[in-house]
């Protein structure tokens, strides 16, 4: 560095905020230039004041503040789930419905196709002596054991389980099931 040239703003900042654990060697010019020393000192002092101010603002808070913060934090902790319990999956929609939300066009076209199949098969079989197609009346108790959390999901599941059952009865259903998957 030219010993007669003043420090650039970058060099001044680098003196105070080195990007390494150790500051670089002091430029020769800085040792003799009062203006540059003043610039570095001003930034250094301001930084120390700033650091002291933010630390002091926290460190000197009264003990009552920390007690209140600890109490509020522990209240939040206790309100949370037990640590060894599995974290419940949070969502407005039951898991089966989420698939519909991800691929609505595919899911609804499959549903429409399934309903058409069921309707068509019912018409074809209506004149024959074969036993009627097992359709759709499925109670929630048949689906699974009902828990309070599952009650809201039950009606959605009823529809989907009914469609599944109807599809299982149809020899053509495999195509639709494949598409849905």
Partner 1 sequence: MSVDERAAKREFESEILTRVVAGDVDAFEYFVVTYQKRITRFVYTLLRDPADADGITQDVFVKAFRALPEFQGQSAFETWLTRIAINAVRDHIRRRKPVVSFSDLRADPDDDGPELPAAFDPADGTSPERDLLSRDIRRRIAEALVALSPRQRAVFVMKHYEEKSIAEIKVVTGLDEGTIKSHLFRAARKLRERLEDLR
Query: For binding to partner 1 (CB under 8 A), which residues are involved?
Result: 6, 9-10, 12-14, 17-21, 35, 39, 42-43, 45-47, 49-60, 66, 69-70, 72-74, 76-78, 80-84, 87
User: Which CB atom, from 76 or from 148, has the smaller least distance to partner 1?
Assistant: 76
**Nearer to partner 1 by C-beta: 74 or 112?**
74
Which residue number, 16 or 177, has a Cβ lying nearer to partner 1? Answer: 16
* Minimum distance of partner 1 from residue 77's CB (angstroms): 5
Six-digit token string for 149: 């959390």
What is the rounded end-to-end Cα distance, in angstroms, of the chain? 70
Is the Cα dihedral 36, 39, 42, 47 positive or negative?
negative
Q: Pull the structure tokens for residue 87.
A: 């974290």
Report, in Å, the least distance between residue 2 CB and partner 1.
17
Nearest CA among 33, 44, 36 for reference residue 7: 36
Nearest to 157 by CA among 176, 180, 141, 173: 141
Q: From CA 108, how far away is CA 123, in angstroms rounded?
A: 22
Closest separation between CB of residue 123 and partner 1, Å? 56
Closer residue to partner 1 in complex, CB, 47/93: 47
Query: Are the C-beta atoms of residues 35 and 9 closer than 8 Å to each other?
Result: no
In 99-161, DSSP assigns E strands to: none
Shortest distance in whole angstroms from residue 97 CB to partner 1: 26
CB of residue 98 to partner 1, shortest distance in Å: 23
Residue among 68 and 172 whose Cβ is closer to partner 1? 68
SS3 state of residue 83: coil
């Amino acid at each position: 560095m030219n010993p007669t040239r003043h420090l650039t703003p970058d060099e001044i900042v680098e003196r105070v905020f080195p990007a390494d654990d150790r500051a670089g060697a002091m430029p020769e010019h800085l040792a003799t230039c009062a203006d540059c020393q003043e610039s570095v000192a001003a930034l250094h002092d301001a930084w120390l004041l700033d650091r002291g101010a933010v630390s002091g603002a926290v460190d000197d808070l009264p003990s009552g503040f920390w007690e209140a913060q600890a109490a509020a934090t522990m209240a939040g902790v206790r309100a949370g789930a037990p640590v060894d319990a599995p974290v419940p999956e949070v969502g407005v929609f039951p898991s089966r419905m989420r698939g519909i939300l991800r691929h609505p066009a595919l899911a609804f076209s499959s549903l429409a196709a399934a309903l058409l199949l069921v309707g068509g098969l019912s018409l074809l079989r209506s004149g024959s002596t074969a036993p009627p197609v097992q359709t759709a009346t499925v109670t929630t108790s048949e689906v699974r054991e009902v828990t309070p959390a599952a009650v809201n999901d039950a009606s959605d599941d009823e529809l989907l389980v009914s469609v599944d059952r109807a599809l299982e009865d149809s020899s053509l259903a495999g195509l639709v099931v494949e598409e849905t998957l």
